[in-house]
Amino acid sequence: MKYELVSGLETHVELSTKTKIFCSCRTDFGGEPNTHCCPICIGLPGTLPKLNKEVVRYAIMAGLATNCEINLISKMDRKNYVYPDLPKAYQISQYDLPLCKNGYIQLDSGKKIRIARIHIEEDAGKLVHKGGDVYVDYNRGGVPLIEIVTQPDIRSSEEAREYVEKLQLIMRYIGVSDCKMQEGSMRCDVNISVRPEGSEEFGTRTEIKNMNSLTFMTKAMEYEKNRQIELIENGGKVEQETLRYIESSGTTESMRGKEDAHDYRYFREPDLVTIHTLSEEVENIRKSLPELPTARIKKYIEKFGISEKDAESIVKYKNISDFFEKAIQGIENPKIVSNFIIGQIFSTLNNEQEKESFDIKVSAESLNELCKLVESKKINVGLAKSTLLKMLETGKNVSNFISQEDMQSISEEKLLEICKKAVDSNPNAVKDYLSGKEKALKVLIGFVMKETKGKVDALNTQKNILDTIKNI
Amino acid sequence: MVTKEDIIKLAKLGKLYLTEEELDSAVKDMTNIIGFANEISKVDTGDTEFDNINGLENALREDIVEESFDEDLILKNVDGGKDGFFYIKKYQN
């Protein structure tokens, strides 16, 4: 029998506000243990939480950017559980009135992954296990999170990966989170079940907790899907349980079963008042949203005539896309700029991480200056390319490599004159060309380029050389 | 009515380990506590809508950093912790 995967994701995203959700301690990643703490975030009795305005605004931004409706009346709830990472023995979260609901993210195939809800909550502290002892650092405790919960719409690990990548990019574009999975500012819980293809009923699901890399997430999903299919094929039954993925063996293991399922005894957080957002405020936030990745890709393809592949590889990294937007100011054909980015600039970036941080020595203004010289035909593309590589290496501006003299354009008469000189000085190349060796033409063009320091257009030069040869 | 099973479940959720004797007295105590709190449901509130925060809304804080507490103060209640951490020694049965 053929089986189908049914999966839904719960994604935790750490918001990049300056302060924690309920106190004014900083949210910076790392730092010496327990140095970003106060009586509120270590849960001392008698303290009162006070909600950070910016957390509400960021969550609404995230909701609007993922096509959600906003609950104008919302509130916080207590989720009770006893574990050392949570000093109050309850997490302040949202239960039945999340800030956002009923959204979706559209995949490239056009399929929509529906988002059931987005709610705000506090992150827990970090536990370090050493020889059976536990060390607790509450720097992360109280850092604001949004949890984005999808409907069980995902049917393959590829769809899950695409959904997470799209979500990650949207959150980065609207600036609510850096979504660094390796630093834990984005983590996914994956719910998985299988069912015979064509069946409408859901199978029993398991949940894999805390995936912090896309590669491991897809591997874990594949493993878990196959494990469940094998179990069913052999007459067994899938148990509802919470699993942990073991990276070294590529397998999953049980953390707790159904009988140990948490009973969180949610109730309204009495220390925090109702969150009442006005619809005008929501509209103002909607208007202030920056351009989203899908809109940028569309603009690059339709308005700038950039290929889909190139548009996607620029938009994939917010830093690069922002750089591109700045570098095209006053440029008529932005393709010149995108070609330099994907050609010369990408050639100096060795991996995904370097592209993501995009720490290069050339500023957008400097690239803009270079592209304007190309567009006004003051220098040709070849010279611009080699100059850009030098700029990337040294961090110096265009003017350090191209002099005023270089930029003086060469008149048509002067070009023809130099072409004639090329033909006269290279009789062998001309002979070769005339006997059918097309490549010999390159020698002649190269001569002209050398004479003009690459200031002329290669195609135009070729035309002039051919005319000269014809007239011999 | 609070049963012994309720108390066992609550103790488990609260990671509390109670002896048989403690369980029995906890049933009694909890019955009293709930009975006390239940008094409030006798009040006739008519059509008045109210919640546990008196209808208050939007007490929000600006996102401005204030200095955190010194690490020694944070760890003062746990005898200074260990290497800057709160420290939980391995549970010995």
- Tens of pLDDT, residue by residue over A316-362, are 999 999 999 999 999 899 998 999 999 898 988 888 888 888 888 88
* Token duo for residue A197: 């293809």
* Cβ contact, residue pair A82, B13, below 8 Å: yes
Burial of A137 (0-12, 13-18, 19+ CB in 10 A): buried
Rounded Cα distance, B56 and A139, in Å = 31
* One domain, residues A279 and A310: no
Phi-psi region of B9 (alpha: psi -120 to 50; beta: other; left: phi over 0): alpha
Give the distance from residue B1's alpha carbon to the nearest chain A alpha carbon, in angstroms: 18
Query: In the predicted model, what is the mean pLDDT of residues A96-114?
Result: 96
Residue A404 has what pLDDT? 63
Residue A75 has what pLDDT? 95
Count the neighbouring beta carbons within 10 Å of the beta carbon of residue B33.
11
Give the distance from residue A86's alpha carbon to the nearest chain B alpha carbon, in angstroms: 12
Residue A364: name the closest of A333, A398, A332 by CA. Answer: A398
* One domain, residues A174 and A299: no
Strand-strand pairing, A100-106 and A126-130:
unpaired
Q: What tens digit of pLDDT does each residue of A118-134 get?
A: 999 999 999 999 988 99
Residue A115 has what pLDDT? 98
Report whether pLDDT(B15) > 60: yes
Structural domain of residue B18, as residue ranges? Answer: 1-43
* Token duo for residue B49: 């809508």
Residue A408 has what pLDDT? 63
* One domain, residues A63 and A114: yes
On whether the CB atoms of residues A10 and A188 are closer than 8 A, the answer is yes
* One domain, residues A323 and A262: no
* Percent of chain A whose predicted confidence (pLDDT) is above 90: 61
* One domain, residues A338 and A458: no
Residue A39 has what pLDDT? 96
* Cβ contact, residue pair B88, A136, below 8 Å: yes
Q: Which residue of B has its CA nearest to A28?
A: B65
Q: Looking at beta carbons, which residues of chain B come within 8 Å of A51? A: 59-61
* Cβ contact, residue pair B59, A132, below 8 Å: no
Residue with the bigger pLDDT between A27 and A375: it is: A27
User: Is B25 among the domain residues?
Assistant: yes
Q: Looking at beta carbons, which residues of chain A come within 8 Å of B37? A: none
The type of residue at A162 is E
Domains in chain A, number: 3
Structural domain of residue A333, as residue ranges? Answer: 291-407
CATH of the domain at B20: 1.10.20.60
User: Is B39 among the domain residues?
Assistant: yes
* Percent of chain B whose predicted confidence (pLDDT) is above 70: 98
User: Is B79 among the domain residues?
Assistant: no
B49 touches A at CB < 8 Å:
no
Residue A111 has what pLDDT? 97
Integer angstrom CA distances of residue A345 from A77, A196, A301, A363, A400: 49, 49, 20, 11, 19
Domain boundary at A354, A377, A407, which? Answer: A407
* Cβ contact, residue pair B66, A84, below 8 Å: no
On whether the CB atoms of residues A142 and A40 are closer than 8 A, the answer is yes
Rounded Cα distance, B59 and A315, in Å = 39
User: Is B93 among the domain residues?
Assistant: no
User: Is B6 among the domain residues?
Assistant: yes
* One domain, residues A463 and A433: yes
User: Is A162 among the domain residues?
Assistant: yes
Between CA A125 and CA A135, with CA A129 as vertex, the angle to 5 degrees is 50
Residue B93 has what pLDDT? 53
A203 alpha-carbon distance from chain centroid: 33
When CB atoms are compared, the residue of B60, B68, B85 closest to A135 is: B85
Give the distance from residue A251's alpha carbon to the nearest chain B alpha carbon, in angstroms: 27
User: Is B2 among the domain residues?
Assistant: yes
Domain boundary at A356, A391, A407, which? Answer: A407
On whether the CB atoms of residues A265 and A75 are closer than 8 A, the answer is no
Q: What tens digit of pLDDT does each residue of A392-435 get?
A: 888 888 877 877 666 666 777 788 888 888 888 888 888 888 88
* One domain, residues A110 and A170: yes
Q: What tens digit of pLDDT does each residue of B48-79 get?
A: 777 777 788 999 999 999 999 999 999 998 88
* One domain, residues A351 and A464: no
Between CA A83 and CA A89, with CA A87 as vertex, the angle to 5 degrees is 55
ipTM here: 0.85
When CB atoms are compared, the residue of B14, B66, B68 closest to A82 is: B14
Domains in chain B, number: 1
Give the distance from residue A14's alpha carbon to the nearest chain B alpha carbon, in angstroms: 15
Residue A411 has what pLDDT? 74
* One domain, residues A41 and A162: yes
Which residues have C-beta within 8 Å of that of residue A266, sequence separation ≥ 6? A77, A78, A79, A80, A95
Rounded Cα distance, A385 and A370, in Å = 9
* One domain, residues A53 and A164: yes
* One domain, residues A339 and A403: yes
CATH of the domain at A457: 1.10.10.410
User: Is B76 among the domain residues?
Assistant: no
With cut-offs at 50, 70 and 90, classify the pLDDT of residue A259: low
* One domain, residues A70 and A140: yes
Q: Looking at beta carbons, which residues of chain B come within 8 Å of A140? A: none
